[in-house]
Structure 1
């Protein structure tokens, strides 16, 4: 599994990655940012938490649960 902290929050760039950043940020979930937001809107991906008027993040625990659920569904 990706090296995630035990608790805390992740921003969208940490989840979907930023290959053009310096240094590049590897994706945890390899989808585009627009696909991520569409999945959040449809309920496919975890709901974010508003930390401030311009700050949106996701709980690490929610991302871990999502990844685990995907791994289980691929096995079944």
Structure 2
């Protein structure tokens, strides 16, 4: 059952990535991205993002304050490059 879900998720992400031009050019070189900004580049659910972080497949955010986290733009850029290579799923 888990294999079917992973294949569907992989297919969806590959279709999404392959249907768009390389978007790493649009990312800032450095800085921080909040979750809504990350989800513009990686169209998955919030729970999928945190699930992938928990398994260590995707980069964890940095804590800005007690209730605020953000991702390094460089980490998201690297993740998108891994998507293009097929490594980040």
TM-score clears 0.5:
yes
TM range (shorter): 0.7 to 0.9
Q: Which residue of 2 aligns with 1:12?
A: 35
Asked which structure has the greater CA Rg, the reply is: 2
Q: CA deviation at 1:73?
A: 2.6
Q: CA deviation at 1:53?
A: 0.5
Q: CA deviation at 1:62?
A: 0.5
Q: Which residue of 2 aligns with 1:48?
A: 61
In the alignment, structure 1 segments of 5+ residues that lack a partner are 17-26
In the alignment, structure 2 segments of 5+ residues that lack a partner are 1-21
What's the TM-score once normalised by structure 1's chain length? 0.76
Deviations along 1:19-50, one digit per CA (max 9) or x if unpaired, are xxxxxxxx200100111111111111111100
What's the TM-score once normalised by structure 2's chain length? 0.66
Q: CA–CA distance in 2 between the matches of 1:49 and 1:58? A: 6
Correspondence for 1:58 among 51, 60, 71:
71
Q: Which residue of 2 aligns with 1:36?
A: 49
Higher helix share: 2
- Give the paired residue count: 64
For the aligned residues, what is the CA RMSD? 1.3
